[in-house]
Amino acid sequence: MTARRKLSQERRVQILDAAAAVIVQRGLADTRIVDVAESAGTSPGLILYYFASKDRLLAEALTVAEERFYEESFPELQRIESARERLVRLIEMACSAEAEGGGAGLGIEEYLLWLDLWARAPRDPDVAARREVLDRRWRTALADVVRDGCGRGEFAQVDPDDFALRFAAMMDGLAIQAVLRDPHVTIRRMRDLLLRTAALELGFDPPAPAHGPKGRLRTRRARAIPAS
């Protein structure tokens, strides 16, 4: 029996980016492996060989997007000395109100993938496990900033893990409303609500409310999944 050849990392990411673009456009239920294969320029058999199912494609596509965020955005955060400024920047990354065509990408796409992932997680143990890993990493990132701020005396003394759990849930809920284009939840309002909540609980003065064009949701992870 011949050994299974590994996909190169570049080709793997290309396929997952193609899968993300198709799932965003069609939704997971209406996505066919043949559509992903056509978008990626490969065969349906190869995709099933390496990824087994649409659910696996969805979970791995989100994982790739998450890795992009941590690799590209966290070095910037680590250069910010103040924990308060670091948290503000993290929230701004979650709610970037950048102009249309300004190069920010289409972060709504990532949250559309999250909606499908959440819907599948209660019925698929593998997807549920991947969801838990992704959310735990995000909450840990938030908690680490808050823990640092408490230690520096920049924040009121709170339980960082408890704060991160509640704050991440609030962020997800607001982002869902923004994705659904609720007229009462613009990206600017999402940003301002999150900053006011963090400031109230942690005891610092929030930045001024955002102004300018409405822009597009970049999501809490800040980096969109590019179309193939």
How many angstroms from the chain centroid is the CA of residue 155?
A: 26
Please state, in angstroms and rounded to a whole number, the distance separating the CA atoms of residues 46 and 160. Answer: 44
Mean pLDDT value of segment 171-178 = 90
Residue 225 has pLDDT above 70, yes or no: no
The answer to whether residues 193 and 223 touch, using CB atoms and an 8 Å cutoff, is: no
Q: Is the pTM of the predicted complex or chain greater than 0.85? A: no
Per DSSP, the residues of 149-166 read: HHHHTSS----HHHHHHH
Q: Residue 19 in contact with residue 36, Cβ under 8 Å? A: yes
Q: Per-residue pLDDT tens for 38-74? A: 988 888 888 888 888 888 888 888 888 778 777 777 8
In angstroms, the CA 77 to CA 91 distance is 11
The two structure tokens encoding residue 54: 């649409």
Q: Which of 83-87, 106-110, 167-171 has the lowest mean pLDDT?
A: 106-110
What pLDDT, in 10s, does the model give residues 18-44? 888 888 888 888 888 898 999 888 888
Q: Tell me what the pLDDT averaged over the chain comes to.
A: 81
d(CA 207, CA 166): 21
Task: Tell me which of 3.40.50.261, 2.40.30.10, 1.10.357.10, 3.60.20.10 is the CATH number of domain 59-202.
Answer: 1.10.357.10
